[in-house]
Chain A
């Protein structure tokens, strides 16, 4: 067996230029496959991070219309709802318009209970609660802008006009890789007070409510009960699971994402064709040798093993090279994008597994036709083959 592996290795290196070009083709394709999968994953990160026990209640007409603050207590009384929090999309400009990340006014008493994946040091959290214009920022934001506790973040309001100065009192850590580490959260009461002072019509309004429910199975009934409370009111609501909410948020780009998804698998097909072409050429050139091996007593299974082994070796080396290149490529891609475009952008373990599986599958599939042909070759035909 070891000797046959040696023969596989030597056959792989027989036409160095062809092998190198094939390896490069596979590596580039695997890199493109993994990069596309990473973009799709990043795009769907919000959906993936969704908790099964959270419901989002928004205005029935559109997400951009606010809901009355008074809804909070009524939602909290709905059977099945354990905790309610809310948030307002603040937006604003920090440094310049290219510095994009979520800036939200939240109910500081409840928000971190409903979102346990945002981990804040208890001391920092206490300090945050005590200060009206305090904020908590994600670890990546702190790193990106070199912000530390006590620093001031000046933000020019766009939706809510004025110059806002927030003091960093906490830096949250994401619990896992799918949690957005790029948000900035501050007291809704600070926003509310300012809005009231300025006579802003948005005073007393919130962007959306988030309810933590006891059991995910109850989500249809609870959603219906919440929306039932506000039916025929001036601000009817639409309640759905966090996952459904995130998906509807992404639906505008759905066609592009589907295309990228499809493209990533088309690339696998391209690798298959590249490798199959190489293997068919190689096996055809060695028809005579395979006949000789069979003459010496090697069986069709041995010949199949030789060709499939060579194909798998090529695909393995190409995939490994492609994967290695993917890490800097993903980092470079992220660096080239405007800051904050994808809050969560990393190569998922699932993507790596998919890349490996694709490599193995392609390696085996590409060898099937030439290996079967050579394995079933009649010796006398093979010996007569001139190539």
Chain B
């Protein structure tokens, strides 16, 4: 059996507010195989997003280790972690988080600015990614000129353009109407099935979670 792509070992996370310590995750251990599509569900405040942030390397655990493809994220300093994220993680946010002054094409090209690719190659990759998400005809549009569903598809193109090891999606359909949400979920499913992308998704929506290969429930910072 191949080693898991993601290993979370006895991870706890607490936040401090003044002198008060607020535990968010409590001693979580979890393994995720390469090519999996996992949905994390649970009530608000259960620690879903925090767990996703730890796996994506945008936050650090208070205790425990997070290993992704053999790299212990807890041992990387800030700049090494930033570099690691640029190569290994694609992000899909609830509110798309596109840069408003850049076109769809430029937004998708953004992560590639951190690679040694020349401009024509970057453009080529970005165009391909936009075509994959069905927005080949919207490349020169600014985010304000796109619908919510289209913006999220641009965000997905931006997430996959650098061919990351994992895709993390935090409520990717939370701000979309039913039809757009369906399109986005179908796209994610395709990315997982056809391109073998490992996807971790946080959602409140049971319908969205059904599209994942497995569902993990969190409650009060613990895996149910």
Interface residues of A (CB under 8 A from B): 3-4, 7, 10-11, 13-14, 288-289, 292-300, 378-380, 383
Q: In whole Å, how far is A165's beta carbon from the nearest beta carbon of chain B?
A: 73
Are A296 and B91 in touch, CB under 8 angstroms?
yes
* Distance of A298 Cα from B86 Cα, bound (Å): 8
Q: Report A-chain residues with C-beta under 8 Å of the C-beta of B113.
A: 3-4
Q: Report A-chain residues with C-beta under 8 Å of the C-beta of B146.
A: none
Q: Does B114 contact A (CB under 8 A)?
A: yes
Q: Report A-chain residues with C-beta under 8 Å of the C-beta of B158.
A: 296
Q: Report B-chain residues with C-beta under 8 Å of the C-beta of A3.
A: 106, 109, 113
* Distance of A378 Cα from B91 Cα, bound (Å): 17
Q: Report B-chain residues with C-beta under 8 Å of the C-beta of A289.
A: 97, 99
Q: Does B87 contact A (CB under 8 A)?
A: yes
Closest to A380 in B: B59
Known contacts A292-B93, A296-B91, A380-B58; is-contact A7 B82 (Cβ 8 Å): no
* Distance of A295 Cα from B57 Cα, bound (Å): 9
* Distance of A4 Cα from B106 Cα, bound (Å): 11
* Distance of A14 Cα from B91 Cα, bound (Å): 25
* Distance of A295 Cα from B111 Cα, bound (Å): 10
21 residue pairs bridging A and B, Cβ less than 8 Å apart: A3-B106, A10-B102, A13-B101, A288-B97, A292-B93, A292-B97, A293-B110, A294-B58, A295-B56, A295-B85, A296-B91, A296-B158, A297-B83, A297-B114, A299-B82, A299-B83, A300-B78, A300-B79, A379-B58, A380-B58, A380-B59
Q: Report A-chain residues with C-beta under 8 Å of the C-beta of B102.
A: 7, 10
Are A296 and B111 in touch, CB under 8 angstroms?
yes
Known contacts A3-B109, A379-B58, A380-B59; is-contact A297 B85 (Cβ 8 Å): yes
Q: Report B-chain residues with C-beta under 8 Å of the C-beta of A380.
A: 53, 58-59
Closest to B95 in A: A288
* Distance of A13 Cα from B101 Cα, bound (Å): 9
Q: Report B-chain residues with C-beta under 8 Å of the C-beta of A300.
A: 78-79
Q: Report B-chain residues with C-beta under 8 Å of the C-beta of A288.
A: 97
Select one of A11, A13, A296, A383 contacting B110, CB under 8 A: A296
Closest 5 CB pairs between A and B?
A297-B86, A10-B101, A379-B58, A292-B97, A297-B85
Q: In whole Å, how far is B20's beta carbon from the nearest beta carbon of chain A?
A: 17
Closest to B155 in A: A292
* Distance of A10 Cα from B107 Cα, bound (Å): 13
Are B91 and A295 in touch, CB under 8 angstroms?
yes
Q: In whole Å, how far is A27's beta carbon from the nearest beta carbon of chain B?
A: 24
Return the CB mask of B56-97 against A: 1 if under 8 Å, else 0: 101100000000000000000011001101110001010001
* Distance of A104 Cα from B135 Cα, bound (Å): 84
* Distance of A84 Cα from B109 Cα, bound (Å): 77
Q: In whole Å, how far is B69's beta carbon from the nearest beta carbon of chain A?
A: 16
* Distance of A298 Cα from B83 Cα, bound (Å): 8
Are B85 and A296 in touch, CB under 8 angstroms?
yes
* Distance of A11 Cα from B102 Cα, bound (Å): 10
11 more contacts with CB within 8 A, not counting A289-B99, A292-B93, A383-B58, are A3-B113, A10-B101, A14-B100, A292-B91, A292-B97, A292-B99, A294-B58, A296-B114, A297-B82, A297-B86, A299-B82
* Distance of A11 Cα from B110 Cα, bound (Å): 15
- Of A295, A297, A300, chain B has the most CB atoms within 10 Å of the CB of A297
Closest to B111 in A: A296
Q: Report B-chain residues with C-beta under 8 Å of the C-beta of A4.
A: 113
Closest to A14 in B: B101
* Distance of A379 Cα from B168 Cα, bound (Å): 15
- Of B59, B79, B91, B99, chain A has the most CB atoms within 10 Å of the CB of B99
Select one of B58, B59, B100, B114 contacting A298, CB under 8 A: B114
* Distance of A297 Cα from B109 Cα, bound (Å): 13
Within 8 A of A (CB), among B144-203: 158
Are A296 and B86 in touch, CB under 8 angstroms?
yes
* Distance of A84 Cα from B91 Cα, bound (Å): 85
Q: Report B-chain residues with C-beta under 8 Å of the C-beta of A295.
A: 56, 58, 85, 91
Q: In whole Å, how far is B79's beta carbon from the nearest beta carbon of chain A?
A: 6
* Distance of A300 Cα from B91 Cα, bound (Å): 18
Q: In whole Å, how far is B1's beta carbon from the nearest beta carbon of chain A?
A: 31
Q: Report B-chain residues with C-beta under 8 Å of the C-beta of A297.
A: 82-83, 85-87, 111, 114
Q: Report A-chain residues with C-beta under 8 Å of the C-beta of B97.
A: 288-289, 292
Q: Report A-chain residues with C-beta under 8 Å of the C-beta of B91.
A: 292, 295-296
Q: In whole Å, how far is A361's beta carbon from the nearest beta carbon of chain B?
A: 27
- Of B83, B87, B113, chain A has the most CB atoms within 10 Å of the CB of B113
Are B58 and A7 in touch, CB under 8 angstroms?
no
* Distance of A297 Cα from B87 Cα, bound (Å): 8
* Distance of A300 Cα from B83 Cα, bound (Å): 11
